[in-house]
């Protein structure tokens, strides 16, 4: 585990950060995950109230930290965790809006790849269009774990969007026609940063909204209703 000094956004004050780290967007969800699923927990960050914790899951060190909303925010935290604190497996856990009518609330979506409407990839100055993709090791690991637990998961392309309130009311329908399973706001940046650094990344999501059917779970449920997603994501620390 890393005990580096600090960055502008992470100051562990000597507390360890594990090589496997889970990134929910909400720092209070990070605290809930640490309190509910980890043992021997210590807090390693409170800068800007972006809470981070390290503990153990079945004896394996695991960290969990909020990453905020959107690609600029997760871009900062994931870059620092990977490049300064030596994170090797970075797993985004959070909510997603389903873009397919047949995906119910509370189901789990796994992002094999992440399309985006962002210009985040422009920084890499590539001579084409980059396709941000999850780590095969983690992707296979979560599918294997779902089969072991007899849990149905939806695996495929997701959309990482820069826009929550989109003035174009037809945009979700057009992404859905391309088979995109759901929309969130972070994974494309995480996948690109991890790929550049040669580490593993994956996004595992609970469906909080079905945009086609205009269904949603309550804000209170978003804090605590993600147990199945966590039971699939946490074993990835052991592979």
DSSP state of 166: -
Distance CA 138, CA 65 (A): 19
Give CA separation, 55 vs 32, 47, 111, 178, 230, in Å.
13, 19, 26, 40, 15
Active-site choice (26, 107, 200, 209) = 209
Annotated active-site residue 209? The verdict is yes
Q: Cβ(31)–Cβ(99) under 8 Å?
A: no
The angle that helices 71-83 and 187-197 make with each other, rounded to 10 degrees, is 20
Cβ contacts of 51-60, under 8 Å, gap ≥ 24: 51/27, 52/10, 52/12, 52/17, 54/1, 54/15, 54/16, 54/17, 54/18, 57/234, 57/235, 57/237, 57/238, 58/238, 60/20, 60/237, 60/238
Residue 107: CA count within 13 A, CB half-sphere: 19
| E runs forming strands in 24-73 | 39-45, 52-57, 60-65
Sign of CA dihedral 83, 184, 98, 96: positive
C-alpha R_g of the chain: 17
Q: So which residues are the catalytic ones? A: 209
């Amino acid at each position: 585990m890393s005990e580096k000094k600090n960055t502008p956004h992470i100051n562990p004050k000597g507390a360890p950060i594990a090589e496997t780290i889970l990134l929910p967007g909400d720092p209070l969800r990070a605290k809930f995950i640490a309190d509910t699923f980890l043992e021997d927990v210590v807090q390693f960050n409170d800068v800007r109230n972006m809470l981070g914790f390290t503990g153990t899951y079945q004896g394996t060190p695991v960290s969990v930290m909020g990453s905020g909303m959107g690609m600029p925010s997760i871009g900062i935290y994931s870059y620092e965790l990977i490049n300064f604190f030596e994170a090797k497996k970075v797993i985004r856990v959070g909510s997603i809006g389903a873009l397919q009518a047949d995906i119910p609330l509370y189901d789990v979506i796994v992002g094999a790849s992440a399309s985006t409407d962002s210009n985040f990839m422009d920084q890499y100055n590539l001579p084409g269009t980059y396709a941000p993709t999850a780590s095969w090791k983690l992707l296979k690991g979560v599918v294997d774990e779902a089969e072991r637990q007899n849990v149905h998961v939806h695996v495929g392309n997701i959309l990482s969007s820069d826009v929550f309130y989109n003035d174009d009311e037809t945009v979700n329908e057009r992404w859905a026609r391309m088979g995109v399973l759901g929309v969130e706001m972070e994974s494309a940046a995480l996948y690109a940063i991890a790929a550049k650094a040669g580490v593993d990344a994956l996004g595992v999501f609970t469906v909080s909204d079905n945009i086609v059917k205009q269904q949603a779970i309550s804000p209170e449920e978003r804090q605590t209703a993600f147990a199945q997603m966590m039971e699939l994501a946490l074993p990835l620390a052991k592979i």
